[in-house]
């Protein structure tokens, strides 16, 4: 069982004397900068001159160029999109690093795949919230928590206490920070992105297509599929009653249907595909493919997006705008 750290065993004083820089004021950057400030720190904020920069100014921060913050701060939270980080790091951050500086990443991606290799003497830690940025802020202000994965490259001294202090300052140890590794974070994250979510999405599309083909009304099927919000309720029940425990909330017919049919889905072909996905992530083949796709200007990604938005399900959703708004409000979201 992984070691879990909570607020009361973490000393924030390891950050005193450090100048904290937050690079990027996007999803995570804004949330983490605000949480750090409310925890008593005064982070330096960096962002390009655009809407995110204006938002940081509205939030009361003085916003500096990235290179300036890299120069001034000795604990840098790199909160840029993973695919952007290597270039910005090489051009605007690395030239300003000094021995004793610490780089803190919110994902294991670039460190694990070696696309960012800090010089000797510069520490590397990871504080990866398992939560979207807006909720990192929202849960902090409500004094609630979210899980977090922390890791440290220990070659240059005891860096884990620094990672834990950052996690605590952003609200990531109220619920618990799990001691992890850069590799583990990448596998967990990418495997969910490339197997779990596409698997669920593909099955949902199949459900929609088959029922419409069988004469059912597309808007009623879309409502049943996700717009009713039942999906969200089942996910919430999994947290409250357990992954299998929530089955008891369904009818006996549903319970028997689910339990007796689930193994049937696991064909040898599917299992082979799952192994393929894991191997692509672990070997770095997916990473190499994604780098090449970006260099080419993302032609495949653009085509895939277009294909997705042309699906009849997207058209049915568009017709149900009013229902979407009500359903989103009732489950705490917004359209």
Q: Which range binds ligand NDP by CB under 6 A, 48-56, 197-205, 307-315, 320-328? A: 48-56
- Is 88 or 170 the residue whose CB approaches ligand NDP more closely? 88
* Residue 133 touches ligand NDP, criterion: CB under 6 A: yes
- Is 92 or 223 the residue whose CB approaches ligand NDP more closely? 92
- Is 69 or 222 the residue whose CB approaches ligand NDP more closely? 69
* Residue 80 touches ligand NDP, criterion: CB under 6 A: yes
Q: Which range binds ligand NDP by CB under 6 A, 45-53, 153-161, 214-222, 310-318? A: 45-53
* Residue 52 touches ligand NDP, criterion: CB under 6 A: yes
Residue 129 phi, psi dihedral angles, 5° rounding: -65, 140
**Residue from 20, 21, 107, 166 that binds ligand NDP (CB under 6 A)?**
107
CA separation for the pair 40, 20 (Å, rounded): 12
CB-based contacts of 310, cutoff 8 Å, min separation 6: none
| String of contacts with ligand NDP for each residue 170-209, x by CB under 6 A | ----------------------------------------
Q: What is the CA radius of gyration of the chain?
A: 22
Residue 74 beta carbon to ligand NDP: minimum distance, rounded to whole angstroms: 20
| CA dihedral of residues 7, 8, 13, 18 (deg, nearest 10) | -10
Extended strands (E) in 160-313: 177-179
E strand or H helix at 150, and its extent?
strand 148-152
CA separation for the pair 245, 255 (Å, rounded): 11
- Is 22 or 122 the residue whose CB approaches ligand NDP more closely? 22
Residue 168 phi, psi dihedral angles, 5° rounding: -65, -45
Residue 42 phi, psi dihedral angles, 5° rounding: -120, 80
**How is residue 37 written in tokens?**
């400030």
Residues 15-34 close enough to bind ligand NDP by CB under 6 A: 24-29
Chain residues binding ligand NDP by CB under 6 A are: 24-29, 47-48, 50, 52, 79-82, 84, 88, 106-107, 128-129, 132-133
């Amino acid at each position: 069982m992984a070691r879990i750290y909570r607020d009361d065993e973490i000393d924030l004083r390891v950050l005193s004397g450090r100048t904290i820089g937050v690079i990027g004021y996007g999803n995570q950057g804004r949330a983490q900068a605000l949480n750090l400030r409310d925890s008593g720190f005064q982070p330096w904020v960096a962002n390009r001159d655009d809407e995110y920069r204006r938002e940081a100014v509205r939030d009361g921060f003085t916003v500096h160029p990235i290179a300036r913050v890299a120069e001034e701060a000795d604990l840098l939270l790199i909160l840029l999109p993973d695919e952007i980080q290597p270039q910005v790091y090489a051009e605007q951050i690395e030239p300003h690093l000094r021995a004793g500086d610490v780089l803190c990443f919110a994902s294991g991606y670039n460190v694990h795949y070696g696309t960012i290799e800090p010089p000797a003497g510069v520490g590397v830690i990871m504080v990866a919230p398992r939560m979207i940025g807006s909720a990192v802020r929202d849960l902090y202000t409500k004094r609630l928590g979210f899980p977090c994965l922390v890791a440290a490259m220990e070659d240059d001294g005891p860096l884990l206490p620094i990672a834990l202090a950052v996690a605590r300052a952003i609200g990531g140890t109220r619920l618990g920070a799990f001691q992890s590794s850069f590799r583990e974070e990448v596998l967990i994250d990418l495997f969910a992105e490339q197997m779990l979510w596409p698997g669920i999405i593909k099955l949902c599309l199949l459900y929609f297509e088959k029922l419409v083909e069988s004469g059912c009304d597309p808007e009623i099927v879309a409502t049943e599929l996700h717009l009713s919000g039942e999906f969200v309720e089942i996910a919430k029940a999994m947290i409250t009653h357990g992954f299998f425990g929530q089955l008891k909330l369904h009818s006996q017919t549903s319970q028997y249907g689910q339990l007796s049919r689930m193994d049937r889905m696991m064909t040898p072909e599917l299992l082979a595909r799952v192994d393929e996905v894991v191997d692509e992530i672990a070997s770095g083949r997916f990473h190499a493919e994604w780098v090449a796709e970006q260099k080419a200007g993302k032609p495949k990604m653009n085509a895939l997006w277009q294909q997705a938005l042309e699906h009849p399900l997207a058209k049915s959703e568009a017709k149900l705008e009013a229902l979407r708004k009500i359903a989103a409000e009732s489950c705490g979201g917004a359209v």
